[in-house]
Amino acid sequence: MSRAFNFSAGPAVMPEAVLQQAAAEMLDWHGSGMSVMEMSHRGKEFISIYEQAEADLRELLAVPAHFRILFMQGGGLAENAIVPLNLSQGGAMDFVLTGSWSQKSHKEAGKYGVARVAASSQTDGFTTLPTPATWQIGADSRYVHICGNETIHGVEFHELPDLKALGCDVPLVVDFSSHVASRPVDWSRVGLAFGGAQKNLGPAGLTLVIVREDLIGHALPHCPSAFDYKLVADNQSMYNTPPTYSIYIAGLVFQWLKKNGGIAAMEQRNIAKAQLLYDFLDSSSLYVNKVSKDCRSRMNVPFYLRDESRNEAFLAGAKAANLLQLKGHKSVGGMRASIYNAMPLEGVQALVAYMREFEKTQA
């Protein structure tokens, strides 16, 4: 067996230790005589898995007591509807458009209320972030939505906007699907954060929502019950059957994060990995990353070959070198290296070594 370095944008690389532990526990979890996927979600075994996962996540991300952690389903895209169903009260919402994912959120929210654009970097090809001081936020705004890390365009907020300092006391909603647990979160600036698990937390199927308590309990009457934050919160995420196996694996990832120094240590590793790759891209005459330096993503690094006729050769050589899933998203083309928490530094080193060799053969 040989495991490759996997640069997929999601579902994505998992910590090997987690996969090994899951394999070892597959048939009989802790002497229970059952696999986790065979357990009742209401039995004491699964409840202990669930409670440990929630407690570990709360500790890792330093989630304050007045926030609830919800384990839901439907992915980031379902939250594009579930958030307005719960928070808009049919009123107006303001969106900051910084790439494909915030565009999608904005479009979907329009089905449930008035979805406005507070700012957009589209004219820059989504290579910059609009300065918060320029955002147009209505006095009647129910919330402001941003995508913390644009997985396709490779643009990341390195600091969350301080809406209060901008004079508007409305909740900030953050789609943190693709950089959750890669860096600390300043919860004093956040009303709600959501994300699918399959980028940085575990397998697809689990969606994480972390929401300030006062924002719960305002769902529109036609909000599906299983998506009403109040029902989900009141039932400890077990209003209906939660994605039990995905929660278990995410729980193992949380323990792996704790063993490896927690989020602060992860952030330092992520900074080092991203810097290695961006420094190489900037020094190269073959490859280019177009994102403004102050908002380059540490998680998703899109890049282009200046000679695009070499794309297929680049990908074939990468695959032969055990460097997988580097093809860029179809909407933007080029390449993309996703270097989430579970991607070791050695993976980025191997990628840079391959890219350097490939560049030499192009001379």
Ligand X SMILES: *Cc1c(COP(=O)(O)O)cnc(C)c1O
Residues that bind ligand X (CB under 6 A): 10, 75-77, 101, 147, 151, 175, 177-178, 196, 199
Shortest spacing between CB 30 and ligand X, in angstroms: 30
Catalytic residue check, 135: no
Please name which of 89, 299, 84, 58 lies closest in space to residue 173, comparing C-alpha atoms. Answer: 84
Shortest spacing between CB 227 and ligand X, in angstroms: 14
Please name which of 83, 72, 129 lies closest in space to residue 105, comparing C-alpha atoms. Answer: 83
User: Residue 83, Cβ neighbours under 10 Å: how many?
Assistant: 27
Q: Give how far the C-alpha of residue 306 lies from the chain's centroid of Cα atoms, to the nearest Å.
A: 29
CA–CA separation, 103 and 117 (whole Å) = 9
Please name which of 216, 215, 219, 207 lies closest in space to residue 85, comparing C-alpha atoms. Answer: 219
Q: With respect to ligand X, which residue has the nearer C-beta, 196 or 242? A: 196
Catalytic choice (29, 94, 135, 199): 199
Q: With respect to ligand X, which residue has the nearer C-beta, 15 or 196? A: 196
Shortest spacing between CB 199 and ligand X, in angstroms: 6
Q: With respect to ligand X, which residue has the nearer C-beta, 101 or 112? A: 101
Q: With respect to ligand X, which residue has the nearer C-beta, 101 or 245? A: 101
* Nearest residue relative to ligand X (C-beta): 75
Catalytic residue check, 175: yes
Catalytic choice (101, 135, 273, 327): 101
Catalytic choice (29, 56, 94, 175): 175
Catalytic residue check, 234: no
Q: With respect to ligand X, which residue has the nearer C-beta, 77 or 168? A: 77
CA–CA separation, 28 and 83 (whole Å) = 38
Shortest spacing between CB 155 and ligand X, in angstroms: 11
179: which 2 tokens?
């950089």
Shortest spacing between CB 343 and ligand X, in angstroms: 16
Could you write out the DSSP letters of every residue in 221-273? Answer: TTS-GGG-HHHHHHTTT-SS---HHHHHHHHHHHHHHHHTTHHHHHHHHHHHH
**Catalytic residue annotation:** 101, 175, 199
